[in-house]
Amino acid sequence: MENRLKTLLQQGKIAIGAQLRFGSPAIAELFGLAGFDYIIIDSEHAPQTPVGIQAQLQAIGCTNATPIVRMLKNDADMMRPYLDMGAQGILAPFVNTVSEARHGAAALRYPPQGSRGYGPSRAAQYGFDTGYFKGANDNMVYLPIIEDTLAIRNIEELLAVDGVDSFVIGPVDLSISLGVPMDFQNTKFKEAVKQVIKAAQKAKKPMGTAIYGGDMFTADIYKRFVDEGYTLLLIGGDEWMLNSSCLKIMNCVSSVRG
């Protein structure tokens, strides 16, 4: 199965993604059918289960979206089952050093390029995809989250690691690490982001970021990030979109309640 996200990144095109926390296969399928290029199943901040994640991977498999699992940590043993279930990429939190980036990138690939152990299940269509091994390494996407001052200090060498396909700036945790929580206009935060952009351009890696704040229902907020050179955009997800929609509806109908 084509990795739509990887194809878009290689072509320099914009990839739009969302993150899911509620564990619902129906919601995962809905997001894929809505046209999102990639969908992240969040197992770092949500009570996901392996069985539940596989069900969501199966639902996303009914669409053209690329399924990505956000890990609890950058750990090869934790990644392996989700790769075997059919995840086409990993979003790894708090990747701060070159050795951590190499560890994560290697976990997604079979030897000699990596260290992944062989045992695909759904990923190889339960044995019907006899060519899975041959194309598996080239069909994976490893995305570290840049969200700590240590990562900023190591950013040039970190993004140069072979197998780091792109990255996502985690603005909330990064701002907290910098001592300016949620102040995305602070000079310290902006300077850190500039360092990431400079390193990405030097390494020729596509740039990604999670987007928070502003009116998320207008195109201008996304255009600003595209104009800055980002091609991988992570835009909310099931929790935020339901929250925002409920608030908008309640605000609209509040006047008729008397």
Least Cα distance to 248 among 210, 212, 213, 217 occurs for: 217
Least Cα distance to 91 among 17, 40, 163 occurs for: 40
**Cis amide bond preceding 206, omega within 30:** no
Question: What is the DSSP code (8-state) at residue 123?
Answer: G
Question: What is the DSSP code (8-state) at residue 83?
Answer: H
Concerning whether 103 is annotated as a catalytic residue, the answer is no
The single residue listed with the structure tokens 């091994």 is 133
**Rounded CA gap, 11 and 213, in Å?**
28
**Rounded CA gap, 74 and 98, in Å?**
12
Determine which one of 13, 26, 45, 198 is catalytic: 45
Helix (H) / strand (E) containing 39 = strand 38-42
Q: Which residues are catalytic?
A: 45
